Amino acid sequence: MLDLNRRHLLAGTAATFVAVQAGTSQAQVQTAAQDQRRTRFDTGWRFAFGHLYDVEKDFGYGGDLRTYAKQGIDATPVAKADYDDSQWRPVTLPHDWAVELPFVHKAPKTPLKPDDHGAVWDPAANHGYKPLGRDYPETSVGWYRKTFTLDAADKGKRISLEFDGVFRDAMVVINGYIVKRNDSGYTPFRVELNDFLNTDDTPNTVLVRVDASLGEGWFYEGAGIYRHVWLVKTDPVHIPQYGVCVRAKADGTVEVTTTVRNDSGETKTVTLNSNIYFTPIDTPVLAFSDLVLPPFSEQVISQTHTIKAPKLWAIDTPALYFADASIWQGSEHIDQVITRFGFRDIKFDAQTGFFLNGKSVKLKGTCNHQDHAGVGAAIPDALQRWRLQQLKDMGCNAYRASHNPPTPELLDLCDEMGILVIDETRMMTSSPEGLAQLETLIRRDRNHPSVILWSIGNEEPQQGTARGAHIARTMKRLCNDLDPTRLITAAMDNGYGEGITEVIDVIGFNYRDQLIDGFHDKFPNKPIIGTETASTVSTRGEYIKDDAAHIVPAYDTTAPWWASTAEGWWPHFDAKPYIAGGFIWTGFDYRGEPTPYSEWPSISSQFGALDTCGFPKDNYYYYRAWWRPEPLLHLFPHWNWAKEDGSKEGKDISVWAHSNADEVELFVNGKSAGRKTVTKDFHVEWTVPYQPGKIEAFAYKAGKVILKDRRETAGAPAKIILTTDRTTLANDGMDCTVIKAEVFDAKGRPVPKVNNLIQFVVSGPGAVIGVGNGNPNSHEADKASQRQAFNGLCCAIVQVTGAGGITVTATADGLASGKVVLKSA
């Protein structure tokens, strides 16, 4: 390219920066550019149930052996533009139809037998007793339908759809043509549309048939198009999906590798320039490459930049830069992809643990599934942020995406919030499908500074075998080819020292804490992390074990046979520098895999530090005390024992406090029950006779009181108080907030043991999209406008539908109503 044209290109680049500068956040810089080529395709869909076996109820799909014999509009009648879909239900993506279904319990066809440890596992419980699977053909298949138009300006562009995740077995039909099949419920996929589209204002019809009759996990997985869909329009010469790879070092060196594709039938001469900057008003660091692209070809270009004294991406200061890859044809700007990245250095050391930018960091992590009360697997982006903030407030600095690739927005948020990530593939296999899924995962996620490890498996049957080692080697080779900057791990629960042990770079211990020290002695050069730890089970707000009611006390005392309590693992991990850290199972309770009660009526696990709504359990404050430096004092249990059976007065009650102070003193109705020294990584405890009134704890540091906490005997429930973490929402049709409803007595004291039915009413441009209460045995509907309180709490998730003021009111019989006012702007 001539120097004159380069000057023209530089001027165009500066103009691009100025246009983007109008954004109000760093994330919007990336969004502004992507909106030119990639737009959300989430609205305007309609949904209807199909059928696993009945062809007529499945809209004629599979009617005879010629289903795939011919392609076109007549092959799939519901694909016709004039098909009457008025009986189909309007939905907005993300959408999980499983969470809308009732809970169903059928007696097993054969009696269930206890396992080797005496537990009885009901297969239907794994997915939370939702009617999915071969026994429920009417609710296991769903169809999505949408019509859209393109105009003449789109003619000649490359047009595709990108699906972030569909659970599962998706078939995509465009204008009657079956153009894609995708089995995985977690791997994103792309569909090229060009050959099948109308660009003359004639409507186009896209159909997606989803078959959720088979699962990929042993936990609730949802059903449907539960992640975003994107419509992508590019020039024939463009940067393909995942076509930019950024590798940045803490010394300021950046290598930007860009794939440029020519999907036209003509040779094209273009210029690729990549720019690195921290904010849009920075002077960019530029690199140029002139390309000659033959028809239907692609080239991969590497460009190196150097940034002086870069801001490093760290947990407390997650500085993010932009790599702007643009293609110019003469003076025409024909494509642009902006990629966020961070400068940082990571290292695992077998003797001293994990290091970020040369500083030792103990991984204080949580494992989590994609599931939340009220919405199931279709978690709005704002709720993803809210969930991560609850974990970060607890002191969590790391997140394991269990046991599948996470939604892309979660990784974006971890980048922004300074949360480290173990990114995990769903299948440990070297089959073509398994390797394709792994490749997609790495290509999609390798630019995220938050990702520190690739995980190739979880408790796999072949983990301790020679065959497992062969499979792991093939998977590792692919990982290293695509991303040589990160190490490989796998979560093992047996076979330590055998099978895949020699292959993976960092060994992941799922529980089996008692074997770690011996393993380290035998394999002193192998870094160690706890990929799953703890698994304390507890029911929020409950303090007496009740097997008949499937209730577990919220003290840190109960764990399954394979696991330990919080105090059973963290003191050990905290004391051993060679253990890089651990990930508790789990941050949040989740549907399915009900534990410790694996049978009806339990429909969710009780592992979480927070319940399914995100309400903290008492164990949350154990981690908060020892995972964050700020002073903390949390006293429990509640002090309303007399109201339970009338016979508790004078009976001994175990009173605990979680604190990181030097000492804690307990007072019962003003009288000291003793001051106790706090041992690092442990709670303090008293046994006192119950008397109505109050218990109060004083926390001391260097002999001075620094914190107080108390629990009072509450009176009769009198009012509802609503709270939310924020009252100003974005008018984007997606933003949402969690509304917490809590029952108080007339004196403003929380009432801990009530279950009032609370109704939520929204006025203004908003809607309740889900409700919950954290009760692991509740069979109430998630998609409703009412919910019983569970131990004094329930919640509603309110999403914006337009601009203006939104008032949320909560009412219950006999209680004063609560109200919160929101603003959508």
pLDDT in tens, 510-542: 999 999 999 999 999 999 999 999 999 999 999
Report pLDDT for 60.
84
788-820: pLDDT as tens digits: 999 999 999 999 999 999 999 999 999 999 999
Report pLDDT for 200.
84
Report pLDDT for 7.
46
Diameter over CA atoms, the chain: 92
Whether pLDDT at 78 is above 50: yes
Residue 155 CA from chain centroid, whole number: 37
- Give Cα separations from 291 to 37, 589, 625, 626 (angstroms): 22, 53, 57, 55
Nearest partner of 182 among 440, 457, 442, judged by Cα: 440
481-498: pLDDT as tens digits: 999 999 999 999 999 999
720-740: pLDDT as tens digits: 999 999 999 999 999 999 999
User: Is omega for the bond preceding 94 within 30 degrees of 0, making it cis?
Assistant: yes
Report pLDDT for 191.
98
Average pLDDT over residues 391-419: 97
**Is the separation of the CB atoms in 61 and 256 below 8 Å?**
no
Chain mean pLDDT for the chain? 93
- Would the CA dihedral through 733, 737, 740, 746 be positive or negative? negative
- What is the layout of strands, in order, in the sheet containing 652-659? 633-636, 652-659, 684-689
Amino acid present at 261: R
Amino acid present at 136: Y
Report the alpha-carbon distance of residue 528 to residue 523 in Å, rounded: 10
Residue 82 confidence class, pLDDT cut points 50, 70, 90: confident
Average pLDDT over residues 273-290: 86
In sequence order, what are the beta bridge partners of 421?
399, 451
Whether pLDDT at 11 is above 50: no
Whether pLDDT at 717 is above 50: yes
Report pLDDT for 15.
41
Average pLDDT over residues 682-711: 97
Q: How many CB atoms lie within 10 A of CB 755?
A: 17
**CB-based contacts of 689, cutoff 8 Å, min separation 6:** 650, 651, 652, 653
Report pLDDT for 324.
96
Residue 19 confidence class, pLDDT cut points 50, 70, 90: very low
Report the alpha-carbon distance of residue 527 to residue 503 in Å, rounded: 12
Q: Please provide the distance, in angstroms rounded to a whole number, between the alpha carbons at the two ends of the chain.
A: 46
Helix (H, G, I), strand (E, B) or coil at 485: coil
Report pLDDT for 151.
83
- Give Cα separations from 241 to 59, 286, 337, 394 (angstroms): 33, 22, 10, 36
Report the alpha-carbon distance of residue 18 to residue 11 in Å, rounded: 11
Whether pLDDT at 705 is above 60: yes
Q: How many CA atoms lie within 13 A of 40 on its CB side?
A: 15
Range in 246-250, 349-353, 500-504, 639-643 the model is least confident about: 639-643
Report pLDDT for 18.
34
Which alpha helices (DSSP H) does 587-724 contain, by range? 618-627, 642-645
Average pLDDT over residues 40-52: 97
Report pLDDT for 647.
63
Whether pLDDT at 9 is above 80: no
Copy the structure tokens of residue 74: 């007549």
Report the alpha-carbon distance of residue 100 to residue 783 in Å, rounded: 6
Average pLDDT over residues 669-688: 98
Residue 122 confidence class, pLDDT cut points 50, 70, 90: confident
Copy the structure tokens of residue 625: 């005390």
Nearest partner of 297 among 256, 326, 265, 251, judged by Cα: 265
| HEC sequence for 306-371 | ECCCCCEECCCCECCEEEEEEEEECCEEEEEEEEEECECCEEEECCCEEEECCEECCEEEEEECCC
Report pLDDT for 541.
98
Average pLDDT over residues 433-461: 98
Report pLDDT for 223.
98
Q: What dihedral do alpha carbons 774, 778, 781, 787 form, nearest 10°?
A: -60
- State the pTM of this model: 0.95
Report pLDDT for 35.
61
Copy the structure tokens of residue 727: 């009252």
Helix (H) or strand (E) holding 146: strand 141-148
300-328: pLDDT as tens digits: 999 999 999 999 999 999 999 999 999 99
Report pLDDT for 28.
54
Q: What dihedral do alpha carbons 400, 774, 117, 548 form, nearest 10°?
A: 180
Catalytically active residues, by annotation = 459, 532
Vertex 674: Cα angle to 668 and 678 (nearest 5):
115
Report pLDDT for 22.
38
Average pLDDT over residues 340-367: 98
Report pLDDT for 807.
98
Report pLDDT for 17.
40
Report pLDDT for 441.
98
Pairing label, strands 804-812, 815-824: antiparallel
Residue 14 confidence class, pLDDT cut points 50, 70, 90: very low
